[in-house]
Chains A and B, each alone.
Chain A
Amino acid sequence: MTFEMILAGFGGQGVMLMGQLLAYAGMTEGKHVSWLPSYGPEMRGGTANCTVVVSDRPVGSPLITRPGIVVAMNLPSMDKFEDSIKPGGLLVYNSSLITRSPKRTDIEVVAVPANEIANELGNDRIANMVALGALLGKKPMVEMQSILTALRHALPPHRHHLLPLNEQALDRGRKLVG
């Protein structure tokens, strides 16, 4: 199986981290992975996105123009990437910030009130983890345990007290779809 996805949001929503966690988790499971960020001044205040491939075969093009999966954390990201999704693909979108519904009818669509759930858990900044949980609930491309290992690796030791909270967020996201 090959999962090709674009994760997008505004700078600060943690989409780059989301992508790195998926890539890292895939790597620890012996899968082939790549992570490609958007770069340059467009990141300043604007939207940021990364392209992630998780596969059981060597990754060909790290740049994906027709992703199977898009996670959109804000409206500009959904506007930009909705049309690019392959027919039959998946769109996970942050319905806390995106008020319009997706236009596509030939794809699967999952609305995740990521910021609302994150706020309920007491920290707005883990909305990305809620969305990631929902994505993995729909497409279990890596084990949740591997994501937690990746998180432990990504967070500096003085942030490790946040691990349980992140786990809760992932869990809430997953339960939402499962």
Chain B
Amino acid sequence: MAKVFERPKALADVVTHYCPGCTHGIIHRLVAEAIDELGIVDRTVGVAPVGCAVLAYDYFECDMQEAAHGRAPAVCTGIKRVRPDLIVFSYQGDGDLASIGTAEIVHAAARGENITVIFVNNGIYGMTGGQMAPTTLVGHKTTTSPYGRDAKVQGHPVRISEMLATLEGPAYIERVSVHTPQLVNRAKQAIKRAFANQVEGKGFSLVEVLSTCPTNWGMTPVEALQRVANEMVPYYPLGVFKDIDAEGEDK
């Protein structure tokens, strides 16, 4: 029980570069715990994105590859196809996965690649200083939507989980959040499941995690968590969008 606060072995004992109150840190811990609990750290290879998580290759205690912006699912495919015995995951932001890397994620999902994708949706480009992301909510001001995102000009935010769930390829897609302790537990289960699926050879699994960016949202960490609850969750509903295990049962 005291173990709750212990650092997972798959998480490096270093100070991360994330801003105070940024939930990237929590999500890192959940990924590391999942790897620990499944006992796969010695055969896992992670793929880091270009985004605030670019230095993830220093934070996970497994082998890592750094991909070009948006290309992590293709890099994962390369690794997994030549060494199917490895457990391969990508960790990507919304600019990385849902903008520049849309083609790669759609086709990795469509092929049903047996990989795990952790998709961190904070509705902004954190790393580059707060530009609009494909997931930025309508009305939100960013440095490239200075008058607030206007659906007529900048279009509507993209719901990746729902979109990918229309494909035949994926085995499991769920959207979770980490803005309350209960939800952190739920997110943990989902992430673990996404890795377990790969171990069992079930195929493409993606967990979308709603995340904060207090720095570029111009908010305190607490305000940022409230924004996730009050503004993001209504547009990005939490839940399971695809689950091949459940299919047939409730359909």
Contact = CB atoms under 8 A, between A and B. Distances in A.
Interface string B76-92: 00000000000000000
The B interface, classified by DSSP as helix, strand, loop or mixed, is loop
Interface string B171-182: 000000000000
B183 interface: no
A178 interface: no
A44 B126 CA distance: 11
Interface string A20-60: 00000000000000000000010011000000000000000
Interface of A is mostly: loop
B20 A41 contact: no
A40 to B, nearest CB: 9
Interface residues of A, number: 3
Interface string A97-108: 000000000000
B197 interface: no
B17 interface: yes
A94 B19 CA distance: 26
A44 B127 CA distance: 10
A41 B20 CA distance: 14
Nearest to A45: B19
Interface of B: 17, 19-20, 127, 215
7 contacts: A41-B17, A41-B127, A44-B17, A44-B19, A44-B215, A45-B19, A45-B20
